[in-house]
Amino acid sequence: MNLVEELPRGLTGLEQLHALMGLGGRPPIGETLDFTLVEARAGFVAFESVPSLRAYNPIGTVHGGYAATLLDSACGCAAHSQLTSTQRYTTLELKVAYHKAITSETGKLRAEGRVLSIGRRAAFAEATLKDMNGKLYASATSTLLVIES
């Protein structure tokens, strides 16, 4: 059984995220890329991670997909935090801007996602990826499809 299967059924999105944090805060992709959900409230979430050499690309920096995954997770889970127990979502579009190269010396990063607006069929969110001093490394905007189960 994986972590997602351990979450109770019939919870709102925010209740699911709180349950996930109670189980260690790591969705399966969080295990793969070593990031953890550390904060969740209505319309807002935060993930933290320390980049390592295992996320490097051939040019000697952390692969852009690492930042994109953290930002996609932050946007998606921010929207997830506002869903009812009968709704789910999927990302329709993610636009990422890379502001500064990430290396294994960057230290802990925090991806914060916020819902800009959410309706019956679509949600719009944004996220930032910053170090612990507030330096911006990447940002994203996302359009998400809200699906009634």
Please give the DSSP secondary-structure letter assigned to residue 25: S
Domains of the chain (ranges plus CATH)? 3-148 (3.10.129.10)
CA 123/CA 35 separation, integer angstroms: 24
Is residue 140 within 8 A of residue 94, CB to CB? The reply is yes
Residue 59 DSSP one-character state: T
pLDDT tens by residue, 63-94? 999 999 999 999 999 999 999 999 999 999 99
Q: What is the average pLDDT value for the chain, to the nearest integer?
A: 94
Q: Are 144 and 119 in contact (CB under 8 A)?
A: no
pLDDT bin (cut points 50, 70, 90) of residue 13 is: very high
pTM: 0.94
Name residues whose C-beta falls within 8 Å of residue 54's C-beta, 6 or more positions apart in sequence.
none
